[in-house]
Structure 1
Amino acid sequence: MTPVNRISGRAYPLGRDNIDTDVIIAADHLKTTTRSGLGKYAFAPIRAEPGNVFDDPEFANAPILIAGANFGCGSSREHAAWAMDDMGIRAVIAPGFSDIFSSNAYKNGLVTVVLPAADVASLMHLAEHAPVTIDLADMTVTAGNEQFAFTLDPFRRASLMSGLDEIGLTLKSEAAIKAYEERVGV
């Protein structure tokens, strides 16, 4: 996993509530175990709408998505985080996330920032014309002259900032694991 300390750039001002995992990536694209190539299918139902934010050249390759409440609801699919990562999204800002999506996002290095709905609404307007910066060290989101504070589970924050997923965290203890295995005869 790549360390994440700061994410800056344009942000897709989507703002819709209840974007479920079927919208993020349809079930017929879940047959793969590879993470690459899924970005072209991400948000297909929204991309089919004329004038959608994902096809607006002003927001092309935006690393941040601003969404409404209950983002990532629906069935558990790690492919949703994979598809968003493949299309270049590194963080999502919303008033709330489904627990399963939030967990899958974290495990794949995708930052989820929870802000109050009023702050998300302000950020939506700011993002239409200003770049957005998410700073994990300061735990702030900045756009234009506005700054919003957020909280993040300290363990998840440290893991994201150091670029260590569950496998990476385990490998940090490889010498201790090997010593234990030798001691007990495994």
Structure 2
Amino acid sequence: MPDKEKMAELLGRPLTSAEDSNFDLYLDIAVGRLSNLLCFSFDTAGGARTFPSRDGYRTVYVDPFTATTSVTVNGEARTDYAKKQNDAYNGSWFNSIEFDEPLCGERVELNATWGFGATLPGDLALLLAALFAVNEAEVSDVKSKKIEDFSVTYRDDTKLDQVADQHKDTIVKYAVCQRAIRHGLVRPVYSL
């Protein structure tokens, strides 16, 4: 995660006194919001995590990781899988496991080195910075205005909605919410 210096660089401005003195709290809040947006954990603590498989699919979407230690399906060790970053087999980090054969609702336990590695991808770091700044941001309530015949439209969305809208391409790129559809339950691509 970014430190104070990197966060200021991402924001394109110095940290405010409140951001500086509450940095860890604001960063934790931003990481929690980002985790909710993307439907995965940013926790880098080691150990095994369990993920459900989707009926009839070979791919299981998991939290970001850089290396695997072991993979088990319903307690049975497996080696018939490939690590993938979305649909790519090569990457510095991965977010899915693709098995040779489809699964049918089994529990997949993955023991891995969790996280994105040394640094977050640039676009994801910018989104995190925008979520960090929401704690201090003063966003205009004016959505549109017109000069002749004077017209003003006020926003009816929140600061978080505005950030999500501004970064929707990044959210769609990384979010596993839609990819992890289980038994007809569809979660929105982004919601705060």
Asked if Structure 1 and Structure 2 have the same fold, meaning a TM-score greater than 0.5 normalized by the shorter chain, the answer is no
TM-score range, shorter chain: under 0.3
**Structure 2 length normalisation: TM-score?**
0.24
Task: Considering fraction of residues, name the structure with more strand.
Answer: 2
